[in-house]
Amino acid sequence: MQHCPGIFVCTPALAWNHRRATATHEGLLHHPGPPAKARTMDKINISFGLNQSLALSESRIQKFLDGNNAAAQKMGWFDTFKDQVFGGGAKQAALQQLAQEFDAAHGLSAFEKFERLAQYATAADRSQFTVTNEGPQQAPNLTYSIKGTPVKHDQVSAQAWSTIETRLGQVTGLGDMGHPRAADWLGQHERQDLEAERNAVTDDAFREGGVHKRFDPRSGVLRAEDNTGARDFDKERLVEERAATSDSLARYVSTQKVLSEAEKSAMLPGISSNKAHATVTLYDQAHVTSGELDRQIGTLSAREAHSVLMQTVDMARVFYQNGMSHQDLHMHNLMVHKPVDQSQNNITLKAIDFGKSKVGVTSESDRLNDVRYLFHKQASSGKLETMRRDAREYFNYDMDKQAKHYPLHKLMGQCASAALGGQAALAPNAFDEAISRAGDQLIAQLQHAETLDEPARTQAIDAAFDLAMNTLSATSDHFSRPHLPDHFVRA
Protein backbone atom coordinates (compact mmCIF):
# COMPACT_ATOMS: atom_id res chain seq x y z
CA MET A 1 0.00 0.00 0.00
CA GLN A 2 1.30 3.44 -0.87
CA HIS A 3 1.40 5.74 2.11
CA CYS A 4 2.88 8.87 3.66
CA PRO A 5 6.35 8.24 5.09
CA GLY A 6 6.24 7.34 8.76
CA ILE A 7 2.48 7.77 9.15
CA PHE A 8 1.18 4.29 8.22
CA VAL A 9 -0.44 2.39 11.07
CA CYS A 10 -1.60 -1.12 10.17
CA THR A 11 -4.28 -2.55 12.45
CA PRO A 12 -4.50 -6.35 12.91
CA ALA A 13 -7.68 -6.48 10.84
CA LEU A 14 -6.06 -4.58 7.98
CA ALA A 15 -3.00 -6.81 8.13
CA TRP A 16 -5.06 -10.00 7.86
CA ASN A 17 -7.22 -8.64 5.05
CA HIS A 18 -4.05 -7.73 3.14
CA ARG A 19 -2.61 -11.24 3.57
CA ARG A 20 -5.90 -12.86 2.55
CA ALA A 21 -6.13 -10.69 -0.57
CA THR A 22 -2.54 -11.58 -1.49
CA ALA A 23 -3.18 -15.27 -1.06
CA THR A 24 -6.30 -15.16 -3.21
CA HIS A 25 -4.53 -13.18 -5.90
CA GLU A 26 -1.69 -15.72 -6.09
CA GLY A 27 -4.12 -18.63 -6.27
CA LEU A 28 -2.85 -20.28 -3.09
CA LEU A 29 -4.97 -23.01 -1.55
CA HIS A 30 -4.07 -22.09 2.00
CA HIS A 31 -4.20 -18.78 3.76
CA PRO A 32 -3.90 -17.79 7.40
CA GLY A 33 -7.10 -17.55 9.35
CA PRO A 34 -8.33 -14.35 10.94
CA PRO A 35 -6.57 -13.15 14.07
CA ALA A 36 -8.06 -13.69 17.47
CA LYS A 37 -10.98 -11.38 18.09
CA ALA A 38 -9.77 -8.03 19.35
CA ARG A 39 -10.85 -6.97 22.82
CA THR A 40 -13.76 -4.54 22.75
CA MET A 41 -12.74 -0.99 23.52
CA ASP A 42 -13.53 0.18 27.03
CA LYS A 43 -16.30 2.76 27.18
CA ILE A 44 -15.23 6.39 27.00
CA ASN A 45 -16.59 8.76 29.63
CA ILE A 46 -17.50 12.22 28.37
CA SER A 47 -19.01 15.26 30.10
CA PHE A 48 -20.82 18.12 28.38
CA GLY A 49 -23.58 20.65 28.93
CA LEU A 50 -25.09 21.14 32.35
CA ASN A 51 -24.39 17.97 34.35
CA GLN A 52 -24.59 15.86 31.17
CA SER A 53 -22.34 12.81 31.12
CA LEU A 54 -22.18 9.58 29.16
CA ALA A 55 -20.19 6.38 28.90
CA LEU A 56 -19.99 5.78 25.15
CA SER A 57 -19.31 2.34 23.68
CA GLU A 58 -17.23 1.73 20.56
CA SER A 59 -20.38 0.94 18.56
CA ARG A 60 -22.22 4.08 19.64
CA ILE A 61 -19.20 6.29 18.84
CA GLN A 62 -18.99 4.74 15.36
CA LYS A 63 -22.65 5.54 14.71
CA PHE A 64 -22.21 9.17 15.81
CA LEU A 65 -19.13 9.61 13.59
CA ASP A 66 -20.96 8.03 10.64
CA GLY A 67 -23.79 10.55 11.06
CA ASN A 68 -26.31 7.86 12.05
CA ASN A 69 -27.64 9.80 15.04
CA ALA A 70 -30.93 7.90 15.20
CA ALA A 71 -29.16 4.56 15.64
CA ALA A 72 -26.66 6.13 18.07
CA GLN A 73 -29.52 7.08 20.40
CA LYS A 74 -31.16 3.63 20.49
CA MET A 75 -31.02 1.71 23.75
CA GLY A 76 -31.86 -1.91 24.43
CA TRP A 77 -34.96 -2.72 26.47
CA PHE A 78 -32.99 -3.65 29.61
CA ASP A 79 -30.75 -0.59 29.31
CA THR A 80 -33.85 1.58 28.88
CA PHE A 81 -35.48 -0.05 31.91
CA LYS A 82 -32.43 0.64 34.11
CA ASP A 83 -32.18 4.21 32.84
CA GLN A 84 -35.84 4.97 33.52
CA VAL A 85 -36.03 3.24 36.91
CA PHE A 86 -32.65 4.09 38.38
CA GLY A 87 -31.43 7.04 36.32
CA GLY A 88 -34.58 9.03 35.70
CA GLY A 89 -33.97 8.87 31.93
CA ALA A 90 -30.66 10.73 32.24
CA LYS A 91 -28.79 8.56 29.74
CA GLN A 92 -31.49 8.85 27.07
CA ALA A 93 -31.63 12.63 27.58
CA ALA A 94 -27.84 12.91 27.30
CA LEU A 95 -27.78 10.86 24.08
CA GLN A 96 -30.47 13.08 22.61
CA GLN A 97 -28.54 16.20 23.61
CA LEU A 98 -25.34 14.94 21.97
CA ALA A 99 -27.24 14.03 18.80
CA GLN A 100 -28.81 17.49 18.72
CA GLU A 101 -25.38 19.10 19.02
CA PHE A 102 -24.13 17.13 16.05
CA ASP A 103 -27.28 17.90 14.06
CA ALA A 104 -27.16 21.61 14.88
CA ALA A 105 -23.52 22.04 13.80
CA HIS A 106 -23.84 22.76 10.09
CA GLY A 107 -21.51 20.70 7.96
CA LEU A 108 -19.85 19.01 10.94
CA SER A 109 -17.30 16.60 9.47
CA ALA A 110 -16.20 13.28 10.98
CA PHE A 111 -13.01 14.98 12.17
CA GLU A 112 -14.95 17.81 13.85
CA LYS A 113 -17.22 15.31 15.64
CA PHE A 114 -14.17 13.31 16.71
CA GLU A 115 -12.47 16.48 17.93
CA ARG A 116 -15.55 17.46 19.93
CA LEU A 117 -15.72 14.05 21.61
CA ALA A 118 -12.04 14.44 22.52
CA GLN A 119 -12.81 17.81 24.12
CA TYR A 120 -15.62 16.22 26.16
CA ALA A 121 -13.41 13.37 27.38
CA THR A 122 -11.40 13.49 30.58
CA ALA A 123 -8.00 15.16 30.36
CA ALA A 124 -6.29 11.78 30.69
CA ASP A 125 -8.24 10.35 27.74
CA ARG A 126 -7.86 13.27 25.30
CA SER A 127 -4.45 12.16 24.04
CA GLN A 128 -5.96 8.74 23.27
CA PHE A 129 -8.07 10.25 20.47
CA THR A 130 -5.71 9.98 17.51
CA VAL A 131 -5.80 10.47 13.73
CA THR A 132 -3.51 8.72 11.25
CA ASN A 133 -3.30 8.86 7.48
CA GLU A 134 -2.98 5.41 5.93
CA GLY A 135 -3.07 6.61 2.33
CA PRO A 136 -0.82 8.62 0.04
CA GLN A 137 -0.65 12.36 0.51
CA GLN A 138 -2.63 12.84 -2.72
CA ALA A 139 -5.49 10.53 -1.57
CA PRO A 140 -5.56 10.49 2.24
CA ASN A 141 -7.35 7.65 4.00
CA LEU A 142 -7.80 8.65 7.62
CA THR A 143 -8.27 6.36 10.59
CA TYR A 144 -9.75 7.77 13.79
CA SER A 145 -8.79 5.72 16.84
CA ILE A 146 -9.53 5.83 20.55
CA LYS A 147 -7.09 4.04 22.84
CA GLY A 148 -5.67 2.29 19.79
CA THR A 149 -9.05 1.00 18.55
CA PRO A 150 -10.14 2.27 15.10
CA VAL A 151 -13.65 3.76 15.27
CA LYS A 152 -13.87 5.42 11.85
CA HIS A 153 -12.21 5.27 8.43
CA ASP A 154 -12.61 8.31 6.22
CA GLN A 155 -11.42 9.02 2.67
CA VAL A 156 -10.81 12.77 2.32
CA SER A 157 -9.28 15.13 -0.19
CA ALA A 158 -5.65 16.20 0.05
CA GLN A 159 -6.86 19.73 0.81
CA ALA A 160 -9.07 18.48 3.65
CA TRP A 161 -6.15 16.53 5.14
CA SER A 162 -3.96 19.63 4.94
CA THR A 163 -6.61 21.58 6.87
CA ILE A 164 -6.89 18.81 9.48
CA GLU A 165 -3.10 18.80 9.92
CA THR A 166 -3.24 22.57 10.42
CA ARG A 167 -5.95 22.29 13.06
CA LEU A 168 -4.04 19.53 14.81
CA GLY A 169 -1.09 21.93 15.04
CA GLN A 170 1.15 19.30 13.46
CA VAL A 171 4.62 20.22 12.27
CA THR A 172 5.52 18.15 9.19
CA GLY A 173 8.96 17.47 7.78
CA LEU A 174 10.74 17.05 11.13
CA GLY A 175 11.99 13.48 11.08
CA ASP A 176 10.05 10.42 12.22
CA MET A 177 6.29 10.95 12.01
CA GLY A 178 5.38 7.36 12.91
CA HIS A 179 3.32 8.19 15.96
CA PRO A 180 -0.41 8.99 15.61
CA ARG A 181 -1.52 12.59 15.87
CA ALA A 182 -3.51 13.43 19.01
CA ALA A 183 -6.78 15.23 18.33
CA ASP A 184 -6.12 17.45 21.36
CA TRP A 185 -2.48 17.24 22.44
CA LEU A 186 -2.68 20.59 24.26
CA GLY A 187 -5.97 20.13 26.13
CA GLN A 188 -4.71 17.12 28.08
CA HIS A 189 -2.15 19.41 29.77
CA GLU A 190 -4.63 22.09 30.89
CA ARG A 191 -4.14 22.64 34.59
CA GLN A 192 -7.03 21.47 36.75
CA ASP A 193 -5.16 21.83 40.06
CA LEU A 194 -5.35 25.59 40.65
CA GLU A 195 -7.85 25.61 43.54
CA ALA A 196 -5.19 26.16 46.22
CA GLU A 197 -3.43 28.92 44.27
CA ARG A 198 -6.70 30.76 43.65
CA ASN A 199 -7.84 30.40 47.25
CA ALA A 200 -4.59 32.10 48.27
CA VAL A 201 -4.89 35.08 45.87
CA THR A 202 -5.07 38.49 47.57
CA ASP A 203 -5.68 42.00 46.25
CA ASP A 204 -1.94 42.78 46.07
CA ALA A 205 -1.14 39.74 43.85
CA PHE A 206 -1.90 41.52 40.54
CA ARG A 207 1.47 42.93 39.52
CA GLU A 208 1.62 42.21 35.80
CA GLY A 209 -0.34 43.74 32.94
CA GLY A 210 -1.33 47.16 31.70
CA VAL A 211 -3.49 50.12 32.62
CA HIS A 212 -6.84 48.41 32.12
CA LYS A 213 -6.19 44.86 33.38
CA ARG A 214 -3.72 43.29 35.80
CA PHE A 215 -2.70 39.63 36.00
CA ASP A 216 -1.51 37.08 38.54
CA PRO A 217 0.37 34.45 36.47
CA ARG A 218 0.61 31.98 39.36
CA SER A 219 -3.15 31.52 39.63
CA GLY A 220 -4.24 32.60 36.14
CA VAL A 221 -6.56 35.29 37.56
CA LEU A 222 -7.13 38.68 35.90
CA ARG A 223 -8.56 41.85 37.43
CA ALA A 224 -10.20 44.72 35.53
CA GLU A 225 -8.69 47.99 36.73
CA ASP A 226 -11.29 50.32 35.19
CA ASN A 227 -14.42 50.43 33.03
CA THR A 228 -12.39 49.73 29.88
CA GLY A 229 -11.08 46.52 31.40
CA ALA A 230 -14.59 45.53 32.51
CA ARG A 231 -15.92 46.13 28.99
CA ASP A 232 -13.12 43.94 27.66
CA PHE A 233 -14.41 41.17 29.91
CA ASP A 234 -17.86 41.59 28.36
CA LYS A 235 -16.35 41.08 24.89
CA GLU A 236 -14.52 37.99 26.13
CA ARG A 237 -17.83 36.57 27.39
CA LEU A 238 -19.43 36.99 23.96
CA VAL A 239 -16.54 35.19 22.25
CA GLU A 240 -16.62 32.40 24.85
CA GLU A 241 -20.36 31.90 24.29
CA ARG A 242 -19.87 31.67 20.54
CA ALA A 243 -16.93 29.27 20.92
CA ALA A 244 -19.11 26.99 23.07
CA THR A 245 -21.18 26.24 19.96
CA SER A 246 -18.31 26.09 17.43
CA ASP A 247 -15.53 23.51 17.63
CA SER A 248 -13.48 25.33 15.02
CA LEU A 249 -13.66 28.58 16.98
CA ALA A 250 -12.88 26.85 20.27
CA ARG A 251 -9.76 25.44 18.62
CA TYR A 252 -8.31 28.91 17.97
CA VAL A 253 -9.39 31.05 20.93
CA SER A 254 -8.30 31.28 24.54
CA THR A 255 -10.74 33.53 26.39
CA GLN A 256 -10.77 35.26 29.73
CA LYS A 257 -13.60 33.58 31.65
CA VAL A 258 -15.44 36.21 33.65
CA LEU A 259 -16.40 35.27 37.23
CA SER A 260 -19.81 36.03 38.65
CA GLU A 261 -19.94 37.45 42.17
CA ALA A 262 -20.85 34.02 43.53
CA GLU A 263 -17.99 32.36 41.62
CA LYS A 264 -15.56 35.04 42.77
CA SER A 265 -16.53 34.59 46.42
CA ALA A 266 -16.15 30.81 46.21
CA MET A 267 -12.97 30.71 44.10
CA LEU A 268 -11.17 33.81 45.43
CA PRO A 269 -12.00 34.08 49.14
CA GLY A 270 -8.95 36.31 49.74
CA ILE A 271 -10.21 39.05 47.41
CA SER A 272 -11.98 42.05 48.94
CA SER A 273 -12.00 44.30 45.85
CA ASN A 274 -15.33 44.77 44.10
CA LYS A 275 -13.62 44.96 40.69
CA ALA A 276 -14.46 42.42 37.98
CA HIS A 277 -12.26 39.32 37.86
CA ALA A 278 -11.70 36.56 35.31
CA THR A 279 -9.58 33.45 34.85
CA VAL A 280 -7.45 32.27 31.92
CA THR A 281 -6.35 28.79 30.92
CA LEU A 282 -2.93 27.71 32.18
CA TYR A 283 -0.99 24.67 30.99
CA ASP A 284 1.38 22.38 32.86
CA GLN A 285 4.84 23.86 32.27
CA ALA A 286 6.39 20.42 32.68
CA HIS A 287 4.79 19.48 29.36
CA VAL A 288 4.00 22.75 27.54
CA THR A 289 6.01 25.87 26.82
CA SER A 290 3.94 28.94 25.94
CA GLY A 291 4.55 32.50 24.86
CA GLU A 292 3.36 35.36 22.68
CA LEU A 293 4.29 34.97 19.01
CA ASP A 294 6.39 38.16 18.90
CA ARG A 295 8.57 36.74 21.69
CA GLN A 296 8.72 33.21 20.26
CA ILE A 297 9.05 33.80 16.52
CA GLY A 298 12.86 34.01 16.48
CA THR A 299 13.11 30.52 18.02
CA LEU A 300 10.88 28.80 15.43
CA SER A 301 12.34 26.42 12.89
CA ALA A 302 11.36 26.83 9.24
CA ARG A 303 8.74 24.06 9.52
CA GLU A 304 7.38 25.41 12.81
CA ALA A 305 7.05 28.90 11.30
CA HIS A 306 5.31 27.34 8.29
CA SER A 307 2.81 25.56 10.54
CA VAL A 308 2.04 28.75 12.48
CA LEU A 309 1.71 30.65 9.18
CA MET A 310 -0.92 28.15 7.98
CA GLN A 311 -2.71 28.24 11.34
CA THR A 312 -2.89 32.05 11.22
CA VAL A 313 -4.68 31.97 7.85
CA ASP A 314 -6.96 29.15 8.98
CA MET A 315 -7.75 31.14 12.14
CA ALA A 316 -8.86 34.05 9.95
CA ARG A 317 -11.12 31.60 8.06
CA VAL A 318 -12.69 30.37 11.27
CA PHE A 319 -13.29 33.91 12.54
CA TYR A 320 -14.86 34.88 9.19
CA GLN A 321 -17.12 31.80 9.12
CA ASN A 322 -18.26 32.47 12.69
CA GLY A 323 -19.17 36.11 12.02
CA MET A 324 -16.41 37.44 14.25
CA SER A 325 -13.62 39.98 13.80
CA HIS A 326 -10.75 40.14 16.29
CA GLN A 327 -9.71 43.66 15.19
CA ASP A 328 -6.31 43.41 16.94
CA LEU A 329 -4.50 40.35 15.53
CA HIS A 330 -0.92 41.47 16.14
CA MET A 331 1.61 38.92 17.38
CA HIS A 332 1.36 39.86 21.05
CA ASN A 333 -2.25 38.64 20.91
CA LEU A 334 -1.26 35.31 19.36
CA MET A 335 -0.09 32.63 21.78
CA VAL A 336 2.21 29.82 20.66
CA HIS A 337 2.15 26.53 22.59
CA LYS A 338 4.78 23.82 22.04
CA PRO A 339 5.38 20.49 23.80
CA VAL A 340 8.45 20.36 26.01
CA ASP A 341 9.09 16.95 24.43
CA GLN A 342 10.21 18.15 21.01
CA SER A 343 9.81 14.68 19.48
CA GLN A 344 6.04 15.27 19.49
CA ASN A 345 6.37 17.74 16.58
CA ASN A 346 3.41 19.90 17.57
CA ILE A 347 2.88 23.64 17.72
CA THR A 348 -0.48 25.24 18.41
CA LEU A 349 -1.61 28.83 17.86
CA LYS A 350 -4.40 30.52 19.82
CA ALA A 351 -5.71 34.09 19.79
CA ILE A 352 -6.14 36.00 23.05
CA ASP A 353 -7.38 39.43 24.21
CA PHE A 354 -10.72 40.05 22.48
CA GLY A 355 -11.29 43.49 24.00
CA LYS A 356 -11.55 45.13 20.55
CA SER A 357 -13.37 42.26 18.86
CA LYS A 358 -16.79 42.34 17.22
CA VAL A 359 -19.18 39.39 17.26
CA GLY A 360 -22.07 38.96 14.85
CA VAL A 361 -20.55 41.28 12.23
CA THR A 362 -22.64 42.16 9.19
CA SER A 363 -20.76 44.90 7.29
CA GLU A 364 -18.07 44.08 4.73
CA SER A 365 -15.54 46.34 6.45
CA ASP A 366 -15.90 44.37 9.71
CA ARG A 367 -15.96 40.97 7.98
CA LEU A 368 -12.72 41.74 6.13
CA ASN A 369 -10.97 43.70 8.89
CA ASP A 370 -8.71 40.84 10.01
CA VAL A 371 -8.00 39.75 6.44
CA ARG A 372 -6.94 43.25 5.37
CA TYR A 373 -4.67 43.59 8.41
CA LEU A 374 -3.03 40.21 7.87
CA PHE A 375 -2.58 40.37 4.10
CA HIS A 376 -2.41 44.10 3.34
CA LYS A 377 -1.01 45.59 6.58
CA GLN A 378 -4.09 47.80 6.97
CA ALA A 379 -4.53 48.95 10.57
CA SER A 380 -7.87 48.07 12.14
CA SER A 381 -8.09 51.59 13.56
CA GLY A 382 -8.01 53.26 10.13
CA LYS A 383 -5.93 54.87 7.40
CA LEU A 384 -4.01 57.29 9.65
CA GLU A 385 -2.49 54.49 11.73
CA THR A 386 -1.74 52.53 8.55
CA MET A 387 0.17 55.55 7.21
CA ARG A 388 2.14 55.87 10.47
CA ARG A 389 3.19 52.21 10.32
CA ASP A 390 4.10 52.45 6.63
CA ALA A 391 6.26 55.50 7.37
CA ARG A 392 8.08 53.67 10.18
CA GLU A 393 8.96 50.82 7.84
CA TYR A 394 9.93 53.08 4.94
CA PHE A 395 12.11 55.42 6.99
CA ASN A 396 13.21 52.74 9.49
CA TYR A 397 12.38 54.55 12.74
CA ASP A 398 10.48 53.56 15.91
CA MET A 399 10.80 49.95 14.76
CA ASP A 400 10.16 48.74 18.30
CA LYS A 401 6.52 49.81 17.78
CA GLN A 402 6.40 47.65 14.64
CA ALA A 403 7.85 44.54 16.25
CA LYS A 404 4.52 42.99 17.16
CA HIS A 405 2.76 43.75 13.86
CA TYR A 406 2.16 41.81 10.64
CA PRO A 407 2.34 38.14 11.67
CA LEU A 408 2.05 36.71 8.13
CA HIS A 409 4.94 38.80 6.86
CA LYS A 410 7.12 38.12 9.91
CA LEU A 411 6.36 34.38 9.79
CA MET A 412 7.24 34.22 6.10
CA GLY A 413 10.49 36.01 6.93
CA GLN A 414 11.22 33.49 9.70
CA CYS A 415 10.57 30.62 7.27
CA ALA A 416 13.23 32.11 4.99
CA SER A 417 15.69 33.01 7.76
CA ALA A 418 15.49 29.62 9.47
CA ALA A 419 15.76 27.70 6.19
CA LEU A 420 18.49 29.80 4.55
CA GLY A 421 20.41 30.89 7.62
CA GLY A 422 22.96 33.62 6.92
CA GLN A 423 21.95 33.72 3.27
CA ALA A 424 18.71 35.53 4.14
CA ALA A 425 19.05 39.32 4.40
CA LEU A 426 15.43 40.40 4.25
CA ALA A 427 13.90 43.86 4.11
CA PRO A 428 10.77 44.43 6.24
CA ASN A 429 8.66 44.56 3.09
CA ALA A 430 10.30 41.60 1.32
CA PHE A 431 7.08 39.60 1.09
CA ASP A 432 4.56 42.43 0.78
CA GLU A 433 3.85 41.81 -2.89
CA ALA A 434 3.41 38.03 -2.63
CA ILE A 435 1.18 38.21 0.44
CA SER A 436 -0.79 41.18 -0.88
CA ARG A 437 -1.48 39.36 -4.15
CA ALA A 438 -2.81 36.34 -2.23
CA GLY A 439 -4.95 38.74 -0.16
CA ASP A 440 -6.39 40.42 -3.27
CA GLN A 441 -7.49 37.05 -4.61
CA LEU A 442 -8.89 36.02 -1.22
CA ILE A 443 -10.96 39.20 -0.82
CA ALA A 444 -12.35 38.94 -4.37
CA GLN A 445 -13.44 35.35 -3.70
CA LEU A 446 -14.97 36.24 -0.32
CA GLN A 447 -16.94 39.08 -1.89
CA HIS A 448 -18.27 36.63 -4.46
CA ALA A 449 -19.09 34.09 -1.72
CA GLU A 450 -21.32 36.66 -0.02
CA THR A 451 -23.58 36.67 -3.11
CA LEU A 452 -24.30 32.93 -2.72
CA ASP A 453 -26.90 31.08 -0.68
CA GLU A 454 -26.04 28.38 1.84
CA PRO A 455 -24.43 25.87 1.71
CA ALA A 456 -22.62 27.22 -1.36
CA ARG A 457 -21.56 30.34 0.56
CA THR A 458 -19.81 28.36 3.32
CA GLN A 459 -18.12 26.07 0.80
CA ALA A 460 -16.90 29.05 -1.24
CA ILE A 461 -15.45 30.74 1.85
CA ASP A 462 -13.55 27.60 2.83
CA ALA A 463 -12.26 27.21 -0.72
CA ALA A 464 -11.08 30.83 -0.79
CA PHE A 465 -9.06 30.49 2.41
CA ASP A 466 -7.74 27.08 1.32
CA LEU A 467 -6.38 28.68 -1.86
CA ALA A 468 -4.75 31.47 0.18
CA MET A 469 -3.12 28.87 2.43
CA ASN A 470 -1.86 26.91 -0.57
CA THR A 471 -0.48 30.06 -2.18
CA LEU A 472 1.48 31.10 0.91
CA SER A 473 2.55 27.52 1.54
CA ALA A 474 4.07 27.31 -1.93
CA THR A 475 6.14 30.43 -1.21
CA SER A 476 7.23 29.16 2.21
CA ASP A 477 8.07 25.67 0.96
CA HIS A 478 10.38 27.15 -1.66
CA PHE A 479 12.90 28.15 1.03
CA SER A 480 13.21 24.58 2.34
CA ARG A 481 13.82 22.91 -1.03
CA PRO A 482 17.33 21.51 -1.43
CA HIS A 483 19.63 23.47 -3.72
CA LEU A 484 20.02 21.85 -7.11
CA PRO A 485 23.36 22.36 -8.90
CA ASP A 486 23.35 23.98 -12.29
CA HIS A 487 23.10 21.60 -15.21
CA PHE A 488 25.36 22.12 -18.21
CA VAL A 489 24.50 20.91 -21.69
CA ARG A 490 27.58 19.64 -23.46
CA ALA A 491 27.81 19.42 -27.24
Summarised one tens digit per residue, pLDDT across range 409-465 is 999 999 998 988 765 667 768 899 999 999 999 999 999 999 999 989 999 999 999
| Judgement on whether residues 124 and 81 belong to the same structural domain of the protein | yes
Residue 287 belongs to a domain: no
Cα separation, 109 vs 120, in Å, equals 17
Give the residue-averaged pLDDT of 281-307: 95
| Judgement on whether residues 413 and 434 belong to the same structural domain of the protein | yes
| Judgement on whether residues 255 and 148 belong to the same structural domain of the protein | no
| Judgement on whether residues 96 and 20 belong to the same structural domain of the protein | no
Q: Which of 279, 313, 339 is the last residue of a domain?
A: 279
Q: Are the C-beta atoms of residues 235 and 354 closer than 8 Å to each other?
A: yes
Residue 491 belongs to a domain: no
| Judgement on whether residues 105 and 146 belong to the same structural domain of the protein | yes
| Judgement on whether residues 156 and 100 belong to the same structural domain of the protein | yes
| Judgement on whether residues 357 and 436 belong to the same structural domain of the protein | yes
| Judgement on whether residues 29 and 85 belong to the same structural domain of the protein | no
Residue 375 pLDDT > 80, yes or no? yes
| Judgement on whether residues 221 and 116 belong to the same structural domain of the protein | no
Residue 486 belongs to a domain: no
| Judgement on whether residues 349 and 325 belong to the same structural domain of the protein | yes
Residue 430 belongs to a domain: yes
Q: Are the C-beta atoms of residues 285 and 191 closer than 8 Å to each other?
A: no
Residue 489 belongs to a domain: no
Cα separation, 180 vs 341, in Å, equals 15
Q: Note the Cα 79 to chain centre separation in Å.
A: 37
What average pLDDT does the structure give for the chain?
A: 84
Residue 305 belongs to a domain: yes
Residue 1 belongs to a domain: no
Residue 20 pLDDT > 50, yes or no? no
| Judgement on whether residues 351 and 442 belong to the same structural domain of the protein | yes
DSSP H or E stretch at residue 303: helix 302-321
Give the residue-averaged pLDDT of 48-66: 84
- Better-predicted residue by pLDDT, 9 or 282: 282
Residues facing residue 174 across a β-bridge = none
Number of structural domains (the chain) is 4
Residue 487 belongs to a domain: no
Q: At what angle do helices 158-168 and 110-120 cross, to 10 degrees?
A: 20
Predicted confidence band at 194 (pLDDT cuts at 50, 70, 90)?
Answer: very high
Q: Which of 279, 307, 322 is the last residue of a domain?
A: 279
- Better-predicted residue by pLDDT, 15 or 466: 466
Residues facing residue 427 across a β-bridge = none
| Judgement on whether residues 315 and 457 belong to the same structural domain of the protein | yes
pTM of the model: 0.82
Q: Which of 231, 254, 279 is the last residue of a domain?
A: 279
Predicted confidence band at 50 (pLDDT cuts at 50, 70, 90)?
Answer: low
Domain that holds residue 15: 8-36
Predicted confidence band at 46 (pLDDT cuts at 50, 70, 90)?
Answer: confident
Specify the pLDDT at position 178.
46
